[in-house]
Amino acid sequence: MPEWMSLLAWGDSGWGDEMVRGAGWTLLVAVIAFALGIVLGTGGAAVKLSRVPLVPLLGDVYTTLVRGIPDLITIYIIFFGGGQAVMAVAKLFGYNGYIEFNALTTGVLALGFISGAYSTEVIRGAVLAVPKGQIEAAKACGMSRWVMFRRILVPQVARYALPGLGNVWQLTLKDTSLISVVGLTEIMRQAFVASGSTKQPIVFFMSAAVLYLALTSLSNKVFGRAEAFANRGVRRA
């Protein structure tokens, strides 16, 4: 058996199961962070589209700062300052205990915060892409705001936003490699540990690349199916 295969064997004799477990943590963090980013992006898009004076400026500050700062710095800021910020808020309510974010919480919050900034622009653009004539027609038919939101705005925004959100997902998935700096044993962290233990970095970093490629390829198929579902019944020009 080639040496690289023995290094990637399953069980105590190799690192194969540890690498797959790291891929599981990578996927878990990416999914939760992406979901958080959708929530933040929806709120951010609503803020940026608001007609209330100065409110859109808050959305601009959020997206400009997060997209302008390297992602690794954002992770470090949340890792070192997140717990302190929460403790400062908790003291206002009379709680004086110590609060510290674990690696999983730090990774989810940091990547969700980053993902939300990009999702904000994607969702905002999708809302603006909905033809105004459809909204005016819905109002003319006497639709309530809720019915119009549910039956016209949401399906249309989903159709326009899915391609962009697919790119945001890929960005979030690959950004999970950065949270290895906070100690979460995802793919990259496990590859570092294994390469340091065996002195075979090429084997494990190539394995990490294959795992990321597998996850991104699967993601492309999932988003492709989602886009096909969202575009059902739409006539092509």
Q: What is the pLDDT of residue 3?
A: 67
Class of 3-230 per CATH? mainly alpha
Domain ranges across the chain: 3-230
Mean pLDDT of 186-199: 89
Residue 213 · residue 220 · CB < 8 Å = no
Percentage of the chain surpassing pLDDT 90?
50
Q: What is the pTM of this model?
A: 0.90
Residue 80 predicted with pLDDT over 90: no
Mean pLDDT of 43-47: 94
For residue 171, what are the CA distances in angstroms to 6, 103, 164? 32, 20, 11
pLDDT range class, residue 93, cuts 50, 70, 90: confident
More confident residue, 86 or 62: 62
Residue 186 predicted with pLDDT over 70: yes
Low-confidence winner among 53-57, 180-184, 222-226 (lowest mean pLDDT): 180-184
Q: What is the pLDDT of residue 69?
A: 92
Residue 178 · residue 71 · CB < 8 Å = yes
Q: What is the pLDDT of residue 237?
A: 54
